[in-house]
């Protein structure tokens, strides 16, 4: 690899020349090994070759508390198609063009991060050439000296979206990832069913974008909130309680308090009006907001919405957060939100 750098006052420009590389797959001498029989004789098509020299540019820098990066790459893909031939899967590489943008904002103990990548001419999971976009959004908040001990707790939430859906090479096509980590223990919770990766013609997905007032009944701790919620109607079930479906979502307040949840909701339709009660356990991070007494909180909510277009609704909702006396204290929080629903 050859790397040439040029420094400026608050940024730098990097130029790379990259020799072609290929993936290394586990063999029969390695455990655990893949269930697939992979041929080590790679093949190349669509502009790629084993001697292809890749070229990349990256310009990165900062403005006040904001960090940014722009990138460009042209060369062999790192995600080959696996083509079945004579009982073996043969890696097949294409030449891709990639554009990338990453942004990060630092606000006291919280990082807000985003990254978007656009690729042309890459094989998807089924071996078809496809152009696609991959998006990652997230934030990271660190609590220092928790429980008056030498412990730091990092709370990380990331959302990943891939326009290829189930044709993607990886498992994070439309998912939310949660990580809570300190020096003594680690909890990792990945909500796989958050956004189902069914084929496009089978999808019946509803997004709920909302904003309102968190803990409006406490004048000292009330705070503006924004959030999103997802429902996959393909997982609906008719029961004696009505039509039930799993939901997952997250909210954050202006005080950096955050709540990530998953649970179940029922839906009752009366003409153009929809009444939707729900119950969702979740994980709460206080940030600079109200101390609710425990990391595990339970949200009870009721929504009232009206159909405004064929696939859209407007609504109002109210919820109550409580830890069900799991903590030493249980002050609870009452919130109201204005909702916009969109089905895809």
% of the chain with per-residue pLDDT over 90? 36
| pLDDT score of 102 | 94
% of the chain with per-residue pLDDT over 70? 83
Position 291 confidence tier, pLDDT thresholds 50, 70, 90: very high
Position 138 confidence tier, pLDDT thresholds 50, 70, 90: confident
The predicted model gives 282-289 an average pLDDT of: 90
The predicted model gives 275-285 an average pLDDT of: 92
Say whether 14 sits in a helix, a strand or coil: strand
Q: d(Cα 84, Cα 97) in Å, to the nearest integer?
A: 26
Question: In the Cβ-directed half-sphere of 80, how many Cα atoms lie within 13 Å?
Answer: 26
Q: Is 80 exceeded by the pLDDT of residue 173?
A: no
Task: Return the minimum-mean-pLDDT range out of 25-34, 163-172, 203-212, 246-255.
Answer: 25-34
**What domains lie within the chain, and their CATH numbers?**
2-192 (no CATH), 202-343 (2.40.160.20)
Higher pLDDT, 304 or 143: 304
The predicted model gives 221-231 an average pLDDT of: 89
- Asked if the peptide bond before residue 32 counts as cis, ω within 30 degrees of 0, the response is yes
Q: What is the pTM of this model?
A: 0.54
Higher pLDDT, 178 or 10: 10
Task: Return the minimum-mean-pLDDT range out of 100-104, 236-240, 294-298, 313-317.
Answer: 236-240
pLDDT digits (tens, 9 = 90+) for 34-81: 556 788 788 888 888 888 999 999 999 999 989 999 999 999 998 888
Q: Is 251 exposed, middle or buried (0-12, 13-18, 19+ CB in 10 A)?
A: buried
| pLDDT score of 42 | 85
* In contact, 53 and 75? CB cutoff 8 Å: yes
**CA 246 distance to own-chain centroid:** 18
**CA 45 distance to own-chain centroid:** 32
The predicted model gives 224-241 an average pLDDT of: 79
Of the ranges 174-178, 204-208, 222-226, the best mean pLDDT one: 222-226
The CA-based dihedral angle spanning residues 7, 8, 14, 15, taken in that order and rounded to the nearest 10 degrees? -90
DSSP string, 243-308: EEEEEEEEEEETTS-EEEEEEEEEEEEETTEEEEEEEEEEEEE-TTS---S-SEEEEEEEEEEEEE
| pLDDT score of 8 | 93
| pLDDT score of 181 | 55
DSSP string, 23-58: -----TTSSS--SS-B-S--EE-TT--TTPPEEEEE
């Amino acid at each position: 690899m050859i790397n040439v750098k040029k420094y400026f006052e608050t940024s730098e420009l990097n130029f790379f020349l990259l020799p072609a590389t290929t993936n290394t797959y586990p063999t029969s001498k390695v455990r655990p090994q893949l269930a697939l029989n992979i041929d080590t004789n790679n093949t190349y098509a669509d502009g790629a070759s084993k001697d292809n020299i890749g070229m990349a540019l990256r310009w990165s820098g900062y403005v006040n508390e904001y960090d940014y990066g722009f990138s460009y790459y042209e060369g062999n893909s790192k995600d080959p198609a696996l083509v079945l031939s004579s009982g073996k899967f043969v890696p097949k590489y294409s030449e891709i063009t990639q554009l990338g943008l990453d942004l990060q904002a630092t606000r006291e103990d919280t990082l807000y991060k985003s990254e978007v990548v656009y690729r042309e001419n890459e094989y998807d999971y089924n071996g078809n050439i496809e152009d696609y976009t991959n998006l990652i959004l997230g934030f990271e908040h660190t609590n220092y000296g928790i429980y008056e001990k030498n412990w730091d707790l990092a709370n990380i939430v990331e959302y990943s979206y891939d326009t290829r859906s189930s044709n993607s090479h990886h498992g994070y096509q439309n998912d939310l990832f949660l990580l809570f980590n300190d020096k003594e223990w680690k909890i990792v919770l990945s909500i796989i069913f958050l956004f189902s990766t069914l084929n496009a013609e089978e999808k019946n997905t509803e997004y709920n974008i909302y904003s309102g007032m968190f803990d409006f009944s406490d004048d000292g701790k009330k705070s503006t909130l924004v959030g999103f919620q997802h429902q996959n109607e393909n997982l609906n079930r008719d029961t004696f309680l009505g039509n039930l479906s799993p939901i997952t979502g997250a909210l954050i307040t202006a005080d950096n308090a955050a709540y990530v949840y998953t649970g179940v909701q029922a839906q009752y339709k009366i003409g153009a009006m929809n009444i939707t009660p729900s119950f969702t356990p979740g994980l709460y991070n206080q940030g600079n907001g109200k101390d609710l007494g425990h990391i595990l909180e339970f949200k009870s909510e009721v929504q009232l919405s009206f159909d405004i277009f064929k696939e859209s609704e407007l609504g109002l909702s109210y919820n109550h957060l409580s830890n069900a006396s799991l903590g030493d204290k249980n002050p609870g929080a009452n919130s109201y939100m204005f909702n916009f629903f969109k089905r895809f």
